[in-house]
Amino acid sequence: VLGLTALSATFGGSCVLYAYTSPNSSSSLIDSGKRSEGVDKKKRILLLGSGWAGVSFLKSLDSTQYDVHVVSPRNFFVFTPLLPSVTAGTVEARSITESIRKIVLKKENVKFSQANCTGIDTANKKVLCRPVADHLDLGKNDFEVEYDYLIIAVGAQANTFNTPGVEKYCHFLKEIEDAEKIRESIVDCFELAALPNLSKDERSQLLHFVIVGGGPTGVEFAAELHDLVYEDLCKLYPTLMPFVNIVVIQSGDHILNTFDERISQFAEQKFQRDGIELKTGCRVLEVQKNRIVMREKGTGKKVEVPYGMVVWSTGIGTRPVIAEFMNQIGQHDRRALATDEWLRVKGCPNTYALGDCATIEQRKLLEDVAYIFALADKDNSGNLTAIEFKEAFESIRERYPQIDIYLKTQRMKDVLKILDDPKDSVLLDIEQFKSSLVKVDAQMKALPATAQVAAQQGEYLARCFNRWSVCESKPEGPLRVRGDGRHMFHPFVYKHFGQFAPLGGEQAAAELPGDWISVGRSTQWLWYSVYASKQVSWRTRALVIFDWSKRFLFGRDASRM
């Protein structure tokens, strides 16, 4: 869905790390890489999670300086942007996963344990872990891991907003197993609908596919499902085609509303042409055994929609272990762990959080805007010329790169116009501009929960750890952004490299850096090349390209395994 150019550095860099193997390294079956216990006492890093943030951190870390222990219930990394393709069989599940052990094997002083972290005790610097599997009653006991630095990168889980029936009746699209279950369920719906003893209504219900959530994941899944049905299943079940219906339910007025307006319009028109029904402005109240109850915002009416399969994709919520930890440290009223701009969990020394489970408490945007504008407003008139405004704005942009995305999605076209073509004669009322930023301010508190952000944070934190000892010996670090004093490292700054929205039928839309918008078939090819290049290893790259070619030549496989 989203462009992952940011990851090139992470995974490009990783090739070097992959190639490096110490001549002395003695890897055992249990722990990979060279262990340094007893030789010199290295600081212990405990990394929780093997997703985008965790793997990016691990790959960029100079692990020769530390003893690293990775704990995660998944002993593999998943390239999540291709999960929707797994639901339709466009790519196979194992083509987008890479074993963590392979990654660990290329590093020194790193060991991995397949377990869930179930409790965090920052006072005693240890975490409690529970193995995810036991065999012959072995390996079922909880264990503790001690650390000097804790890196929390456990991601998030699907958010049901406590809507009744969602857990019980809906599919989620978060993990690799979810994608495989959806794939099976689609085929089940078709096979059941093909049984001879069903009425027309029953067939229609079975082939009524509902996607709740019109964000990038929901839209991409709808597009994949449409392609699967109209390119492949139509040949296998021709008589069932009149019964198929794909519906996207969205509470907002538009789908893809975090994208540029032109992209969300293009997607809506494309879906309309493809016969994918869009129900915007509808809030789901309950999911029952075979119908969804929702309220139309415009009319206030309650509507019931029957379904054969529902995929719930409305955003992310907090994992229980993080919710419990947040309660412990007094952050209970939040969705994610609050960190400062150096990714340090507020109030917990030596504890870092990154990726979807964390959110950076930005300094207040409005405070900064006021401060920067006050500096620019040399004659204290409360007004800035367009050129002064542009200069001040560049300074805001440096601190809050994501402000561009919000200006666009909030349709603040007048501001963007001034920035594009500043004319000295225009005077901008600072107070007025600040008040228009109030809504932006609320959204700016959280960076988007994307792989781009998670991977950049992982890489940033690893660079800090790599330079730690050097910086400690030369304490004169960079000046703080504002206020007095210096900090050992620059704060984390997110760089947005654009985003993709594949829309099916070999068409995609992309928002590229520099306010470029690209839509259509050529953009789909750009998507193929970007996603192939961003694969985590040559193995997955080859497998994904092979799967795409296989699909072009033979179509998707609709067998129920």
Please name every residue paired with 310 in a beta bridge, in sequence order, or none if there are none: 210
Q: Is the dihedral of CA 78, 82, 88, 94 positive or negative?
A: negative
Q: Quick one: which segment of 133-141, 150-158, 191-199, 272-280 binds ligand FAD (CB under 6 A)?
A: 150-158
Strand partners, 509: 501, 519
Size of the site for ligand FAD (CB under 6 A): 36
C-alpha triplet 367, 368, 373: angle, nearest 5°: 105
Residue 120 sits in the site that holds ligand FAD (CB under 6 A): no
Cα gap 200→206, rounded to integer Å: 10
| Closer of 32 and 116 to ligand FAD (Cβ) | 116
Cα(394)–Cα(416) distance, integer angstroms: 12
- Of 10, 33, 34, 54, which lies in the binding site for ligand FAD, with binding defined by CB under 6 A? 54
With CB atoms as reference, the residue minimizing the distance to ligand FAD is 51
- According to CB under 6 A, which one of 72, 114, 258, 402 is a site residue for ligand FAD? 72
**Cβ 507 to ligand FAD, closest distance in Å?**
16
Nearest-approach distance from CB 412 to ligand FAD, in angstroms:
24
Which C-beta is closer to ligand FAD: that of 205 or that of 313? Answer: 313
Rank residues 97 and 109 by Cβ distance to ligand FAD and give the closer one: 97
Beta carbon nearer to ligand FAD, 172 or 433? 172
Alpha-helical regions (H) of 228-335: 234-236, 261-274, 320-328
Q: Which of 356, 441, 459, 511 binds ligand FAD (CB under 6 A)?
A: 356
Count of beta carbons in the 10 Å neighbourhood of residue 529:
9
Q: Residue 414: count other Cβ atoms within 10 Å of its Cβ.
A: 12
* 173 part of the interface to ligand FAD, by CB under 6 A: yes
- Label residues 61-92 b or e (16+ Cβ within 10 Å = b): bebebbbbbbbbbbbbbbbbbbbbbbbbbbbb
d(CA 318, CA 183): 26
What is the closest distance, in whole angstroms, from the C-beta atom of residue 94 to ligand FAD in the complex?
Answer: 16
If one asks whether residue 83 binds ligand FAD (CB under 6 A), the answer comes out as: yes
Say whether residue 86 binds ligand FAD (CB under 6 A).
Answer: no
In the complex, least distance from residue 487 CB atom to ligand FAD, rounded to whole angstroms: 24
Q: Where are the beta strands (DSSP E) in 100-250?
A: 110-121, 126-131, 143-146, 149-152, 157-158, 171-172, 208-212, 245-250
183 touches ligand FAD by CB under 6 A: no
Instruction: Spell out, one character per residue from 204 to 223, where the chain touches ligand FAD: x when CB under 6 A holds, - when not.
Output: -------------x------
Q: Is 51 in the site for ligand FAD (CB under 6 A)?
A: yes
90 contacts ligand FAD (rule: CB under 6 A): no
* Whole-number Cα distances in Å, 294 to 211, 219, 274, 279: 13, 19, 24, 10
State the DSSP string of 59-88. Answer: HHS-GGGEEEEEEES-SEEE-GGGHHHHHT
Site for ligand FAD in 301-340 (CB under 6 A): 319, 321
Q: Give the footprint of ligand FAD on residues 234-273 (CB under 6 A).
A: none
From candidates 1, 17, 151, 407, binder to ligand FAD by CB under 6 A:
1
Which residue's entry shows tokens 């650390």?
Answer: 147
Is residue 307 within 8 Å of 291, Cβ to Cβ?
Answer: yes
Residues 6+ apart with CB under 8 A from 352: 149, 150, 151, 152, 339, 343, 344, 345, 461
CB of 33 to ligand FAD, least distance (A): 19
Residue 530 engages ligand FAD in binding (rule: CB under 6 A): no
**Residue 71 touching ligand FAD (CB under 6 A):** yes
Sequence-ordered alpha helix ranges (H) in 254-338: 261-274, 320-328
Instruction: Assess 151 for contact with ligand FAD (CB under 6 A).
Output: no
Measure the CA–CA gap between 436 and 348, rounded to whole angstroms: 35
339: left (phi over 0), alpha (psi -120 to 50) or beta: beta
Distance in Å, CB of 227 to ligand FAD, minimum: 16
Return the range that interacts with ligand FAD (CB under 6 A); candidates 78-86, 161-169, 223-231, 238-246.
Answer: 78-86
> Does 355 participate in binding ligand FAD (rule CB under 6 A)?
yes
Query: Which chain residues interact with ligand FAD by CB under 6 A?
Result: 1-2, 4, 48-54, 71-74, 80-81, 83-84, 116-117, 153-155, 173-174, 217, 319, 321, 355-357, 449-452, 454
